[in-house]
Amino acid sequence: MKITLKEIASLVGGEIEGDAGTIITGASGIKEAVEGDLTFLANPKYAPLLQTTRAAAVVVAKGLKIGSACPMVRVDNPSFAFSKLIEIFGPKKPEFPKEVSKRAQVAPTVKLGKGVSVGPFTVIEDGAVIGARTIVRSGVYIGHGTVVGADCHIFPNVTIRERCAIGNRVSIHSGSVIGSDGFGYVAVKGVHEKIPQIGTVVIEDDVEIGSNVTIDRARFDKTIIRKGTKIDNLVQIAHNCDIGENSIIVAQVGISGSTSIGKNVILAGQVGVVGHVTIGDNTIIGAKGGVSKNVPPNSYYIGIPAMEGKAFKKVHAALLRLPGLIAKVRGLDGKAAGRGKGGAGDAEAADN
C-alpha cells in the first residue's frame, strides 16, 4: 500500500514539516525502519536515533524541539496516533465465521446474539448468554448461567466459570480463568476445610484482560473489575476485590482478597497487595511495591513495605551511604581503642 505524508497527516490531524508528498509504504519502529517506512518518536531520549533511522518520515509530538533529516508529522500524542496508523500497514485481522462450529458443544438453552462466532472445541453450558458479534475462539469454556456481552473477544483456551457476568467490548486473552474459587479455608482440628465460594465475578465494559490472569469469585457477593480497566498477563486478583475504573494492573501483580482499588490507579509490575486495604484514586504503586496498609488518593508509593515516594528516596539514599558510614564507625572504634591503650600506658609510666 502507498500513501502520501499529506494523507497520513489528515488521518491523525497532524501538522507536516518537510515534503508533504513523501510516499509511505509501511510502518515500523525507529530502529527497525527501512526505506519507505513511517516511524514515531514518543520519548525524547530516543531523539538521537532520528539521525540514523532509515524511515521516510516520523510522527513526533508538537512542540518537541528536535532536528531530523526526514519529514515529520507533529501530533499531540505520537504513540496513540501511530497506533492508529499502524492498522493501515499492519497485517489484516483474521476474520471469523459468524456461526457456531459443528465441533463446538453448545447447550440447547444457550442464547446467542446476532453475528456470534463460536470456534471448534468450545463448550457453552446451559443458561449462558452470548451478546451480538462476540467472538468465542476455540477451546473456550463458558459455564452455566454466565452472561457475555456484545462485541467481546474471548481468545482460545479461556475459562469463564458459572454465573459470571462479562460486559460489552471485553477482551480476555488465552489461558485466563474468570470465576475460579476464592482461596478460603478454615482450620478444624488441624485440617484445612474449604469455605464455599458462592459469589461471582462481574467484569464491566471495555475491560481487557491479558493471558494467564486469574480472577477469583467472591465468597458471597461479587469480585468486580470496573469499566475501562486494563490487566496485563499473569495477574492474580483474589475474591471480593473491587478494581476501579480505568486502572492499569501490570504483569505479575498479586491482589489479596477484599481489597478496594480506586479509579485511574496504576499497579506496576510485581506489586503485591495484602487483603482488606484500600488504594485511593489516581495512585501509582511502583514496581515490586508491597502494599500493607491503606494508601491515600493521588499518591505515589514504592518499596517493601510500600511508602510515600519522597520518603522512600530518602531511605534508599541513606541505605546507599551505609557502607561508608560503617567504615567510618569502624575507623573511629579503632582510634578509640588505640587511645585507650595509650592512656593506660601513660598512667603506668606516671606511677613509676
Is the Cβ–Cβ distance between 181 and 163 less than 8 Å?
Answer: no
Is the CA virtual torsion 51, 53, 55, 60 positive or negative?
Answer: negative
Marked catalytic residue, from 144, 153, 173, 239: 239
Please tell me whether residue 33 adopts helix, strand or coil conformation: coil
User: Exposed, middle or buried, 41 (CB in 10 Å: 0-12/13-18/19+)?
Assistant: buried
Q: Is 352 exposed, middle or buried (0-12, 13-18, 19+ CB in 10 A)?
A: exposed
Give the separation between CA 308 and CA 286, rounded to whole angstroms. 10
Does 239 participate in catalysis according to the annotation?
A: yes
283 and 298 in contact (C-beta within 8 Å)? yes
Report residue 326: phi and psi, to 5°: -65, -45
- Rounded to whole angstroms, the Cα distance separating 222 from 241 reads 8
Supply the residues annotated as catalytic: 239
